[in-house]
Amino acid sequence: MSDSNEILSGDLLENHENLASNNPDNGNQYSEGSITVLEGLDPVRKRPAMYIGDVGERGLHHLIQEVVDNSIDEALAGYCKNIIVTLHSDGGCSVEDDGRGIPTGPHPVKKISTLEVVMCTLHAGGKFDKQTYKVSGGLHGVGVSCVNALSEYFEATVQREGKMFRQIYKEGVPQGDVAVIGDSEKTGTRIYFKPDPTIFKNVVFKFDKVAERLRELAFLNNEVTITFNDEVENISETYHYAHGLVDFINYVDIDSKILVNPVLITGSDVSENGTETVVDICFQYTGGYTENLLSYVNNINTVEGGTHVTGFRSALTRTLNAYANSQNQNKKTNSKVTLTGDDFREGLTAIISVKVAEPQFEGQTKTKLGNGDVEGIVRSIVNDKLSQFLDSSPNEAKKILEKATVAAQARIAAKNSRDLIRRKNSLETSTLPGKLADCSLDSPQDTEIFIVEGDSAGGSAKQGRDRRFQAILPLKGKILNVQKSGPAKALENEEVKTIITALGCGFGDFFDISRLRYGKIILMADADVDGSHIRTLLLTLFFNYMKDLIIEGNLFIAQPPLYKIKKGKQELYAFNDSERDEVIERFRKESPKSKIVVEPEEGEIELPADNVVIEEARKDGIVISRFKGLGEMNPEQLWETTMDPERRTILQVSLGEAAQAARVFATLMGDKVEPRREFIERNAQYVKNLDV
């Protein structure tokens, strides 16, 4: 055929039909009729995870983000000042703005209302020609139409051109044409949606999760005021930060000791084709020992960094080094410590926000900026503005150099310690810790390691594991709190060194995830206060010095059960109080006259019976046992409840709200006692099953 788009000719089509009719096994035939074409929004409902990541808590809250992003894009274009987000008592959510309002007239191509085109067509919107919106936060171009598809009820109300328009949808299908419902002198769009419970595992929005993202957007867009209402919790908060990134960095470092106050760098660059790249950076120095850098592109949190981060770091190192050299020359001294980029980043908190017309994302989570030109733009702006700051603020510059010099001295002192944990081959077992019970397989994608609290739990885990692919590393006691210690002191801690050596991928700036020995790292500690503390210490270590393990999705938390409920030969495990009560109710329905008995078994403690009904009945009662800790489980129990991949539940550690994570770690693990006390008092009401 001369034309690749030409349809099948009559003879060829007839041959295909004859072939199909002569095939006796039509049931297993892969033919033209096997190809299904999903129309409209059907692909979203069929494969929702492809569009919003998953159908769990993250995907549910992503729906709000998609709608809010449209309002933020109106703000970036200069037309929106106010956004109101409301979690309604009926389980729905509404997002209202005072932007221009989505057009409602006939679409020139589709010949139906443009509002319906936007709400019911994938990849339809004003973000593609770069005329309506010069920059936008949409990452996939599917936006509000996906929210419509995944909602059991969806309502779009638009105010523009003196009228108020409305259209209602169910499961993405319009329930009528766009209708005029009144007059209005205002402009703007209001979207109300109620997530479809047949798609999402849970349709309850969490106030804190929504609030953190809205607060972040208000920091990044200082001309916008965002009001957040929760009708269920009867809470209303307003987010407006006139000083933008300065307010943001103060929020992140609120519980940290500040050495150098915020430095604000702004600038822009216009390319030959007329597109503008806007750069906003704010950084300051704290008394901490690690770098805390948050980066954004068009309001998207680029957790994997990218060219804008590379440009900032290289400019920071070059400019500060040049200033340090000039100071040494002015003092005519030959004694100086050679400073590196690592030294200048110790204790640094930085927020980088760039606005790019055509962002190109890459990386594991598609949140790493790949635009090569952005690196040079950021580097040039930082070089220029930072040099001006250093020359005009000698006292602040001196503090930065003093901080970097101390870091350099600690780096040199720690060199020998670092060399001990840097291995030539990540699979070389001759230098592995003696307490590590390794697995027989050596391919990271097939293996996992349990970092276990205590020798007794480690012993049960070693006996209960599958030796082919599961390694066990028991820890003795609590590891060092690295939030309050520098890398040199961290590397002197035996438990920290043991973890680093076992994983094989290094530490801090020497970290190389390609050398990781296990695909899954699973933290396994008791479900009590001590266990929570140990998990927090371990998470602090990974967050500060091995963050890529979190970004790449390698870090998990095991979920050991709290209870074992037994009735006759039936034996079930419960991971919390509500599951325990469900199992009890199930057993009671099966045998209404059953007697509930609470009695401790070996290695278990008695459960208070204040919420368990004691009934006089038959001899075969229900026995509830509460586990005191992992070490009290025998190997078989530990395997079937916590370690068996076919039956266990593990939680993946993610970095969804990086700013909040950094703030919480500083609060809980930092030097200041008062913020930690306030945090505990504020959240004590949410603690259940407190064991002391």
> 171, 455, 530, 657: which one is catalytic?
530
> 73, 155, 255, 526: which one is catalytic?
526
d(CA 475, CA 479) in angstroms, rounded, equals: 8
Record the tokens describing residue 631, joined without a space.
Answer: 């070490």
d(CA 541, CA 222) in angstroms, rounded, equals: 33
d(CA 17, CA 11) in angstroms, rounded, equals: 10
d(CA 556, CA 339) in angstroms, rounded, equals: 36
What are the phi and psi torsion angles at 140 (to 5°)?
-115, -10
Residue 231 CB coordination number (10 Å): 13
Active site residue 526: yes
Whose tokens are 């997002």? That residue is 95
CA dihedral 582, 587, 592, 595 (to 10 degrees): -100
Active site residue 453: yes
Contact, 508 vs 542, CB < 8 A? Answer: no
Contact, 476 vs 450, CB < 8 A? Answer: no
Strand 470-475 and strand 448-453: pairing?
parallel
Record the tokens describing residue 16, joined without a space.
Answer: 């295909």
What are the phi and psi torsion angles at 631 (to 5°)?
-65, -15
Whose tokens are 């230098």? That residue is 431
DSSP classification of residue 445: G
Contact, 599 vs 565, CB < 8 A? Answer: no
Strand 520-524 and strand 555-558: pairing?
parallel
What are the phi and psi torsion angles at 143 (to 5°)?
45, -130
Provide DSSP, 639-675. Answer: IIIII-TTT--EEEP--TTHHHHHHHHHHHHSS-HHH
How far are the Cα atoms of 73, 77, 359 from residue 270, in angstroms, in the given order? 20, 17, 15
Residue 168 CB coordination number (10 Å): 16
Q: Which residues contact 482 (CB under 8 A, 6 or more apart)?
A: 289, 290, 490, 496, 540, 541, 544, 545
> 98, 253, 448, 453: which one is catalytic?
453
> 528, 577, 615, 671: which one is catalytic?
528
d(CA 532, CA 538) in angstroms, rounded, equals: 10
List the strands of the sheet with 258-270, edge to edge: 258-270, 276-286, 348-355, 292-297, 300-301
Provide DSSP, 373-406. Answer: HHHHHHHHHHHHHHHHHHHH-HHHHHHHHHHHHH
Active site residues: 453, 526, 528, 530
